[in-house]
Structure 1
Amino acid sequence: MADSLRTPFLKGSSKEEEKEESYIVRLEEKSEEGVSDSGDFCRRYLTESRKLWAIAGPAIFTRLTMYGTNVITQAFVGHLGDLELAAVSISITVFVGFNFGLLLGMGSALETLCGQAFGAKKYHMMGVYLQRSWIVLFVVSLLLLPMYLFATPILKLMGQSDEIAQLSGTLAVWFIPQHIGYAFSLPLQRYLQSQLKNAIIAWLSGAAFIVHLFLSWLLISQFEMGIVGAAITLNLSLWLPLIGQFLYVICGGCPLTWRGFSREAFVDLWPFIKLSVASGVMLVLEIWYYRVLILLTGHLKNAQVAVDSLAICMNINGVEVMIPLGFLAATGVRVANELGSGNGKGAKFAVIVAVTTSMVIGLLFWVLILTFRNDFALIFTQSAIIIEAVSKLAYLLSFTILLNSVQPVLSGVAIGSGWQAIVAYVNIGCYYVIGVPLGVILGWVFHLKVLGIWAGMISGTAVQTLVLIIITYRCDWDREAAKAIERVNTWSSDAPSRTLLK
């Protein structure tokens, strides 16, 4: 790529590029230490495990801090009153949750493209892909704005009381800066993650979490700014690390992959849009699946105990699922890197290591939930009725956690391989054709209530996991590697491009 493509920050940065290349080589050499030509399985496993955890560890930490900011906000708002807590919970769950899921999925297209480009050493295209993703996600975020602007009438149509709908609608407007920020932060995180720069994401997320805790105390408790203060703290907890990551990139942190803003970002947008949409649909169907469980449970007769006990189980599941979601990210990057470098067997082995590692962790939590099924509800409540209800649901919770230790990893395989469109159809069939109807039948027709609803939906997850296992097992990895190389070569351009910044 010509020098004219660089921003003013990077002019004359050949030394930085050489340093970056040597850093990547050192990472690869370190990862290959101790791997014998005979292909000793244990050494290969440990080597791949190091690569996997180098991505998964920071990814898990980042997801926990992001999840923690919402928990902290709801904890502070809960002391303001039931109405305020309900408004914040609904705004985060319904509007922020849906739009975040869609933008997260669309941003994950970069895990396919940037991961494969990094493996193929087409480093300059990673910055172009990042800019294309910014363009696409920003336009989509603008198209989704009416959900925030008309939140009050939407909630009234959904059956919410006027009081809750009005307050939630006011709060939703305050969440617009966070919504727009997702369009830039989610692609940026995947861009950095794909080139193994996970530490900067984790450090900035940790710092933002501490700042969020302090600002929540200051604005909500001390300055008594109420739910507006809560919205401001959530906005800042997103934008502060976003600004830090952006400055890291443009000020020389990624000299090989960032060559400045380029008009090439506006080329070949249609295939990029198709992959982004497929990724978005795939992940948002997964994210919303268990939200449907809570919605259906709320329509049961005398649903208060059922909803409260289910909410406790979902909180436990929500924290634990951050681990397999970290492995989802790591698996996507590892598979994409290996396929991009033409190493189909390496991609297959990365899948084996990721699945077995996540399953071991899932089995550990499965045992813990079953062992302490009568006690873990005490963290949230002293009600004997709810504790007993949670104890009954603990069996379903344990199997949900066990399935979630495999299913997200296989979704990561799909992302790394570019199978998002296929998996989107699988998710529709397994989740919404099998899982939800079966849950309704078991819950209402067979009068099993929340146990039946959840059991039916677990069945949908089990079928989806089985289908993904079959697809992954039958995969011709050498062919996938050839397709990845073809994709990288088709979408990349080694010709000099003109920059928008000179």
Structure 2
Amino acid sequence: MDDAIQEKLLKYSGQECDLKGRICQESKKIWRVALPGVISRVSAFGTVVVTQSFVGHISSVDLAGYALVQSLLLRFVNGILIGMSSATETLCGQAFGAKQHHMMGIFLQRSWFVDLITMTILLPAFLFATPIFKLLGEDETIAKSAGHISLWFIIYCYGLVFSLTIQMYLQAQQKNMVIAWLSIMQFVIHIPLSWLFVNVLGFGINGAMGSLCTSLWFVVFGEFIYLFGGWCADSWKGFTVAALKDVLPVVKLSISSGLMICLEMWYYAILVLVAGYMKDAEVAISAFSVCTNINGWEFMICLGLLGAACVRVANELGRGDAKAVTFSIKVVLSTSVALGVFFWILCLVFGRKIGYVFSNDENVAQTVSDLSILLAFSVLFNSIYPVLSGVAVGAGLQGTVAILNVVCYYLIGLPIGLVLGYVTNLQVKGLWVGMLCGVIAETLALSLMMWRINWDEEVLKASARLKRWYLETPDEAIQATNPA
């Protein structure tokens, strides 16, 4: 009897050690992708937030104008570009898992082609920002400031086209540490450059926006040097007309990806717009924008884990290992939730002091303080649903998530926010409660979706997609014509 018990204990002990080993191994794979992604996203978003801080100390009108452009136009365009670029993440991740390395460079070029055309189509939104904001009923002085600032964001957004797609291409093959270093240098350069342009040379808004654009294009040129300099020899074979083949299927997947991210990011943008119709619009817009930026900054960390979830799921689907997919999902989700709890505590402790970092206006700082508890819970839920979205991107299920976004954000969250904000007179606080309700609904819907997915079927779908879009390398073509 004692021998039997001892044998069972040894067996369970061995299983526990094996499980710990698997978790450690999977965590290393996740953080190899996530850490550079977190650093790059936090640094990139940090430059936007730092610019907001410099603008806020120039004037409250320019702060409100910047908040409108950054929260509405930039989120609108950024959502489309990030979403459409996530098609690169899906295809490159699965191609890397299937060892079709040469296809990754082709997928990258297709994404450049599609995203550049998309950005050009979106230009009128920036060129006619002032009349658009006036038409939406915003204050005239704020609309004029926003119109001037929006012109600078054109340069910024064209840089995003290359920065986002190259980052996802490198991330899929676990070579994105270079992005982390470039992003750190971007942030380090941006702060003194902003101080020089705004405080020393007195360039004002032009100085703040010029610094923002300069720091982003520094990253873009660094990425080009890495890409064309031979550090991606297996996956980058130079420019090719093959990238123009099968563009329509990529466009279809890109549109699904774009809708998925856009519907999520536009949700926050619409709430900022609605805040502009409330009492003391200047304070409401500024305070709401500050809180969404803090929420967004933490969200950048979760986006790093979203990228890791996407890459790990796509890689394992490309390899055809369904069990590895489910195990990876459990590990990355547990990691993200632990981080979410940590930042939730930070927001609860320091929430009442955050507003003073972004504005000297006592009313703005106090409104931010009033929203601090709701902000803390938004940060907590940020740690769950982005990871589940990343899993969906890795599997190519962006279209399904887009539908969930419509229902949860626009049919649940937005109506609740409008009712609480206007009917019950809770103002900005009511809007945020509605936003939180939409986020909770999205979290529950994605959790149910993940629970019901048959990953063996997703492996077959990924394999079929890769075979359908596969193009032979020159060596394979020669071998096929001359088998001897």
TM-score for both structures, normalised by structure 2 = 0.89
1:81 aligned onto 2:59: yes
User: How far is 1:314 from its partner?
Assistant: 2.9
Q: Take 2:237 and 2:211, find their aligned partners in 1: how far apart are those partners?
A: 33
Alignment equivalent of 2:297, drawn from 319, 331, 347: 319
User: How far is 1:477 from its partner?
Assistant: 1.0
1:160 aligned onto 2:138: yes
Letter in 2 for 1:368: L
Return closer, same or farther for 1:74/1:173 CA change in 2, 3 Å cut-off: same
1:126 aligned onto 2:104: yes
| Stretch moving more, 160-169 or 49-58 | 160-169
Query: Match for residue 335 of structure 1?
Result: 313
Letter in 1 for 2:262: V
1:403 aligned onto 2:381: yes
Return closer, same or farther for 1:496/1:172 CA change in 2, 3 Å cut-off: same
| Stretch moving more, 462-471 or 208-217 | 208-217
Deviations 1:458-502 (A, max 9, x none): 12211111111111111111111121111111111125399xxxx
Return closer, same or farther for 1:375/1:247 CA change in 2, 3 Å cut-off: closer
* 1:77 aligned counterpart, secondary structure: helix
TM-score for both structures, normalised by structure 1 = 0.86
Deviations 1:259-284 (A, max 9, x none): 11111100000000000011111101
Alignment equivalent of 2:445, drawn from 440, 444, 467: 467
CA contact (8 A) 1:134 1:183 kept: yes
* 2:234 aligned counterpart, secondary structure: coil
Q: Take 1:329 and 1:320, find their aligned partners in 2: how far apart are those partners?
A: 15
Alignment equivalent of 2:119, drawn from 137, 141, 153: 141
1:181 aligned onto 2:159: yes
Return closer, same or farther for 1:303/1:191 CA change in 2, 3 Å cut-off: same
Query: Match for residue 5 of structure 2?
Result: none
Deviations 1:370-422 (A, max 9, x none): 34555555656788877775555333222211211101000100110100011
1:476 aligned onto 2:454: yes
CA contact (8 A) 2:72 2:269 kept: no
Return closer, same or farther for 1:379/1:86 CA change in 2, 3 Å cut-off: closer
Alignment equivalent of 1:299, drawn from 269, 277, 287: 277
Q: Take 1:357 and 1:191, find their aligned partners in 2: how far apart are those partners?
A: 24
Query: Match for residue 347 of structure 2?
Result: 369
Q: CA RMSD in A?
A: 2.5
Query: Match for residue 465 of structure 2?
Result: 487
* 2:371 aligned counterpart, secondary structure: helix
Q: Percent identity?
A: 45
The gaps in structure 2 that reach 5 residues or longer are: 1-13, 477-484
Query: Match for residue 219 of structure 2?
Result: 241
Query: Match for residue 10 of structure 1?
Result: none
Letter in 2 for 1:472: M
Deviations 1:9-51 (A, max 9, x none): xxxxxxxxxxxxxxxxxxxxxxxxxxx9999221111111111
Return closer, same or farther for 1:244/1:158 CA change in 2, 3 Å cut-off: same
CA contact (8 A) 1:331 1:416 kept: yes
1:102 aligned onto 2:80: yes
Return closer, same or farther for 1:262/1:64 CA change in 2, 3 Å cut-off: same
Letter in 2 for 1:457: M
1:55 aligned onto 2:41: no
1:192 aligned onto 2:174: no
* 1:178 aligned counterpart, secondary structure: helix
* 1:197 aligned counterpart, secondary structure: coil
Alignment equivalent of 1:271, drawn from 249, 256, 279: 249
1:257 aligned onto 2:270: no
CA contact (8 A) 2:194 2:208 kept: yes
| Stretch moving more, 172-181 or 432-441 | 172-181
1:351 aligned onto 2:354: no
CA contact (8 A) 1:88 1:227 kept: no
Q: Take 1:290 and 1:37, find their aligned partners in 2: how far apart are those partners?
A: 45
CA contact (8 A) 1:262 1:497 kept: no
Query: Match for residue 92 of structure 1?
Result: 70
Q: Take 1:354 and 1:399, find their aligned partners in 2: how far apart are those partners?
A: 20
Q: Take 1:427 and 1:466, find their aligned partners in 2: how far apart are those partners?
A: 12
User: How far is 1:360 from its partner?
Assistant: 1.1
CA contact (8 A) 2:75 2:269 kept: no
Alignment equivalent of 1:232, drawn from 210, 214, 219: 210
The gaps in structure 1 that reach 5 residues or longer are: 1-35
Query: Match for residue 11 of structure 2?
Result: none
Return closer, same or farther for 1:54/1:390 CA change in 2, 3 Å cut-off: same
CA contact (8 A) 2:68 2:273 kept: no
* 2:406 aligned counterpart, secondary structure: helix
Q: Take 1:229 and 1:336, find their aligned partners in 2: how far apart are those partners?
A: 42
Letter in 1 for 2:161: A
| Stretch moving more, 73-82 or 43-52 | 73-82
Deviations 1:182-240 (A, max 9, x none): 22221111101111011110111111222222322232333333322333222221211
Return closer, same or farther for 1:466/1:78 CA change in 2, 3 Å cut-off: closer
